[in-house]
A and B are shown apart, each in its own frame.
Chain A
Amino acid sequence: MTHRIDQSFATRKAKDQAVFVAYIMGGDPDRETSQTLLNALPNAGVDIIELGMPFTDPAADGPTIEEAGLRSLAAGTTLMSILDMAAEFRKGNDTTPIIIMGYCNPVHNMGYANFAAKAKDSGIDGAIIVDLPPEEDTQLRQAFDAHDLALIRLATPTTDEARLPRVVAGTKGFVYYVSMTGITGAAFSQAGSITEQVTKLRKASKLPVVVGFGVKTPERAREVAKDADGVVVGSAIVKALHEDGPQAALTLVKSLADAVHE
């Protein structure tokens, strides 16, 4: 529901803080580990959760997320089991928004209306479908609108001023600014200020602006949080989980959350 998303931003804004958004790949490396990590994220300081839906051909992701998705698929994850994970999470938490993130084909395969209904039932608040630009998202957006779910669109450095109004017009919850041209987990190529881009987005939309892609460390997260309403970290958390286990991932999450909330 957009309500939970709006509430998250309002709560942090009241304390003059940015929102911390953490991404994990659902079902990586298996359902049980992933569910435990998911359930623990709010206590580690996560305000909004992005729950990855695995796909065989994630053409906008780097190797960290691609391999996590393949591990998840090998463990038997399906789109339905991702929704089940959200439903399980909701039994113990009714405030932290869950945005599911992934590629269009599994969603298209389930059917847009069916997916929206099931997502709503599972306590999902919104979705980011990477390969569904405004030109192609009408059907899913209508299905989401019918269930008060947020279809969140991405704005990127290539989204020019002529195009930006169209991108932000249909988005709900927040605007996700992809701060670099590239794939997830890549080195931050434009390590400088994002002030200018965020200002442009604020002019185009009244929604909160969340910045992601290329944020790996508490230092960078702190810097981005000065300009943005929220900061997303994904690959670094997925990598910590894979290399050092759930506890290490949560330790990283906590340090990132603290940095964003400073």
Chain B
Amino acid sequence: MGKQANQTFPDANGRFGDFGGRYVAETLMPPILELEKAYEDAKADPSFQAELDYYLTHYVGRPSPLYYAQRLTEHTAKQHGSSAKIYFKRDELNHTGAHKINNCMGQLLLAKRMGKKRIIAETGAGQHGVATATVAARLGMECIVYMGATDIVRQKPNVFRMRLLGAEVRAVHSGTATLKDAMNDALRDWVTNVGDTFYCIGTVAGPHPYPAMVRDFQAIIGVEAKAQIMEREGRLPDAVVACIGGGSNAMGLFHDFVDDTSVRLIGVEAAGRGVDSGLHAASLTGGRPGILHGNRTYLLQDAHGQITDAHSISAGLDYPGIGPEHAYLHDIGRAEYVSATDDEALEHFQLCARLEGILPALEPSHAIPRTLDLAKELGQGGLIIMNMCGRGDKDVFTIADALGEHISEGTEG
């Protein structure tokens, strides 16, 4: 284990060590400074926290359960002779089916407090778009979601959901027409409509204060998980595990454990068709530090500093960067970052469905194989919490395609 991380990060300039910062066009500097101030004020205001708590309890459905995945544990024990106990933090049971709404609830209540009525968001898998559209509907706000044209094709059910919720989904055709391009277009919208618009970023990336603010809104995952495991097992877990695209569900789970140095923090990146194939989304494993979308972090890029395409079967992990706090936790050795391929995710999606009766989203399906490896490594007496950050209903068409099955669209629900 490396140096102890400090829960007071980032510093006043939004830095996590050498990562983070505010690399934005001058037009956006005043609004991000305004946002930072508004967020600091809200954090210090008990009435803001009370309102957020109200919605998290009665609308989102928190706390989410901490569930003992008994049959996956037994399966591992049977295969390897011994297994650590595997728990799932069930954030897929939240309203809208993923952890994303924790952050949207916080950011849109902040937008309301700031008097902003026009909400924009980027989305990859569509989960953040759906969560933003949902909260915007509830709070009576206009909502525009930017989504890559490629992702619109592979995530049709979520596109329709957003429209049902009253959001306008704008297709982004530039670049690779995926999440990074959606983020470019959202930034273009913001720079144009800076006066009345609130940009609700879906992950722990972007210019300061987003990485810290999104982390804080997601930190409830780890806070609940810690209290729940103490109640169930009377001790801290040996490790917490989560999948990572931008890294918001992982940061949410990790944050409250960062200073508990006995707890291993393990992030699982998407290795696509294998990190050596070049077709992957593993920014820490296969990337280098650079500057994109407002922050300095690890990026997939070529020898000349041009951003290269990410690849993953999971649209939510298909991003060439990672949140700057993960880059920092990686460099100081506080967290460990591993990866899982498309094939491993598909295989463990099916295993989880059959053994636990849970259809995981393709994103947390990446975390399952590394969780099982760890369960074997720790053996009996070990204790692991994995974040089940989203449910797989949105992915059934992608999975059917990958498995060579033909199912009719429109029956999903």
Q: Which residues of A contact B (CB under 8 A)?
A: 55-60, 62-63, 66, 70, 73, 78-80, 103-110, 130-133, 135-136, 153-160, 163, 167, 178, 181-183, 186
Contact = CB atoms under 8 A, between A and B. Distances in A.
Given A158-B27, A158-B31, A183-B191, A135 B22 contact: yes
A182 B292 CA distance: 19
A205 B66 CA distance: 60
A181 B194 contact: yes
Interface string B269-297: 00000000000000000000011111010
Given A105-B301, A106-B304, A158-B30, A56 B175 contact: yes
Contacts of B301: 105, 109
B235 interface: no
Given A57-B180, A181-B191, A133 B29 contact: yes
Contacts of A156: 25-27
A156 B25 CA distance: 9
Contact of B25 (A106, A107, A110, A130): A130
Contacts of B27: 60, 154, 156-158, 178, 181-182
Nearest to A153: B26
Given A107-B305, A109-B305, A159 B30 contact: yes
B24 interface: yes
Nearest to B29: A133
A107 B327 CA distance: 20
Interface string B180-197: 110110011001111100
Nearest to B296: A108
Nearest to A158: B30
A157 B294 CA distance: 20
Given A156-B27, A159-B26, 5 more contacts: A104-B291, A105-B291, A131-B23, A163-B30, A181-B27
| Closest 4 A/B residue pairs (Cβ) | A109-B305, A106-B305, A59-B187, A182-B192
Contact of B184 (A59, A108, A163): A59
Contacts of A155: 26
A178 B307 contact: no
B21 interface: yes
28 contacts: A55-B306, A57-B184, A57-B293, A59-B188, A59-B191, A60-B187, A60-B191, A79-B304, A103-B291, A104-B23, A104-B291, A105-B306, A105-B307, A106-B304, A108-B291, A110-B305, A133-B25, A133-B26, A135-B13, A158-B26, A158-B29, A163-B30, A178-B27, A181-B27, A182-B27, A182-B192, A183-B188, A183-B192
Contact of B306 (A106, A133, A167): A106
A135 B184 contact: no
Nearest to A58: B184
Given A131-B23, A136-B23, A109 B304 contact: yes
Given A105-B299, A181-B192, A73 B306 contact: yes
B174 interface: yes
B24 A133 contact: yes
B292 A57 contact: yes
Contacts of B304: 78-80, 106, 109
B306 A56 contact: yes
Max chain B CB contacts within 10 Å: which of A57, A79, A109, A155?
A57
A233 B351 CA distance: 59
Interface size class of B (residues with CB under 8 A): 35 or more
A54 to B, nearest CB: 8
B26 A167 contact: yes
A155 B27 CA distance: 8
Nearest to A55: B306
B29 A60 contact: no
Contacts of B23: 104, 131-133, 136
Given A105-B305, A106-B305, A109-B304, A131 B192 contact: no
A131 B183 CA distance: 15
A6 B62 CA distance: 63
A59 B26 contact: no
Interface string B296-319: 100101001111000000000000
Contacts of B307: 56-57, 105
Contact of A182 (B22, B174, B191, B306): B191
Contacts of A132: 23
B22 A79 contact: no
Interface string B30-56: 110000000000000000000000000
Contacts of A153: 26
Max chain B CB contacts within 10 Å: which of A79, A103, A104, A136?
A136
Contacts of A159: 26, 29-30
A153 B188 CA distance: 19
B22 A60 contact: no
Given A105-B301, A160-B30, A63 B174 contact: yes
B26 A136 contact: no
Contacts of A182: 27, 191-192
Contacts of B22: 133, 135-136
A131 B25 contact: yes
A56 to B, nearest CB: 4
Contacts of B181: 57
